Chain A
């Protein structure tokens, strides 16, 4: 058995390298999220008064749905090229595989979000570059990537995988969505830190529970 962290690093590097060549995941997350921001603009017609009310919801719907898209891609690429079987044949632990794939997805989602955020700021005339909001986005994305990697590995082996991942993923991440929407609403309005902190704690607790559970469960999911 090879060492844990070097294996994880190698896995993440493999994902980044293939992403650099194919530019598949980040572009699809990005394009989908920007499109949904624009569609929301037409659907809600936000006037300056209601923009602060709807903006956090719009941002998180865009992040969540685009994230689901990215998570599906992460395993479709592995599976379609027969790479997953190859990975399972190597003497790596399932734990290292999980952490590697999870960090890869996390990295791609964060990359896309870094671009989405300025677009969001321009389209909705807000200033989202506040430390609270960045922390909320980081924590929520960790939660998405942790449970999403587990469910993506499940959904990839089912028929109609495109519908299966959102069906599994969205009901489970409800606490993150609620926490993220409420706390980023407070942060965007310039509310005090003491109001956001309990939501940030909620997201952090969810992250820890989900990370530990997925780490254990992944072993049962990938056994061909």
Chain B
């Protein structure tokens, strides 16, 4: 067995086992939050998922910068794989946030800075995936995507700032994970940490799988190009 296979198997087994434990902890072990009730349990998914989304987009930034610097396809494969996983997790973050907000805030969505920035972030990386789908395979498409991967990441702090300023005109919703973080119960805090490490391991596993799959896709595409040119 090759080293990469051992690493992937290991990550899979550990994250799957932790997932089971975390599910038990979330639904049975952890005490119910006094004010928010049972619905608060979704935080143990929502917060780690959001963290993985941001982590993935940071990996896109690193991969994009690496590609423009070195021009080796491994950086591009890393960036692309991370972007796909990032979009998946950001979508899950938006969905878990929306279904939680309706019963608790009474609305599906508010244009709060945090929510709006997340939505813009999601849109930028959906555009990234569209760009990959529509641009030619190979170096040109990789360069385009790398430029967007960096531009998107630079843009997000400015988007956040502009929306914070924009929203200060209106009353702000101060409910949310950030508002409660100061007085989190120690069991809840610990569970959040465990859940976050579980999702981070899951991210590492997915990234490793997607990365090697992307490598194969690149090889297939290269072979197809060669076959075309020989015909």
Contact = CB atoms under 8 A, between A and B. Distances in A.
Contacts, number: 81
A1 B140 CA distance: 25
Interface stretch (A20-28, A64-72, A130-138, A157-165): A157-165
A171 B127 contact: yes
Given A164-B130, A178-B166, A157 B158 contact: no
A191 to B, nearest CB: 12
B210 to A, nearest CB: 23
B166 A221 contact: no
A146 to B, nearest CB: 11
B161 A175 contact: yes
B194 to A, nearest CB: 34
A45 interface: no
Contact of B135 (A158, A163, A182, A223): A158
B189 to A, nearest CB: 34
A223 to B, nearest CB: 7
A167 interface: yes
Contacts of B130: 163-164, 167
Given A202-B162, A202-B165, A172 B151 contact: yes
Interface string B114-133: 00000010011011001100
Given A164-B130, A171-B120, A220-B146, A202 B151 contact: no
Given A171-B155, A221-B144, 7 more contacts: A154-B144, A154-B148, A158-B144, A159-B134, A164-B130, A178-B162, A223-B143
7 contacts: A157-B144, A158-B135, A171-B120, A175-B159, A213-B154, A217-B151, A220-B147
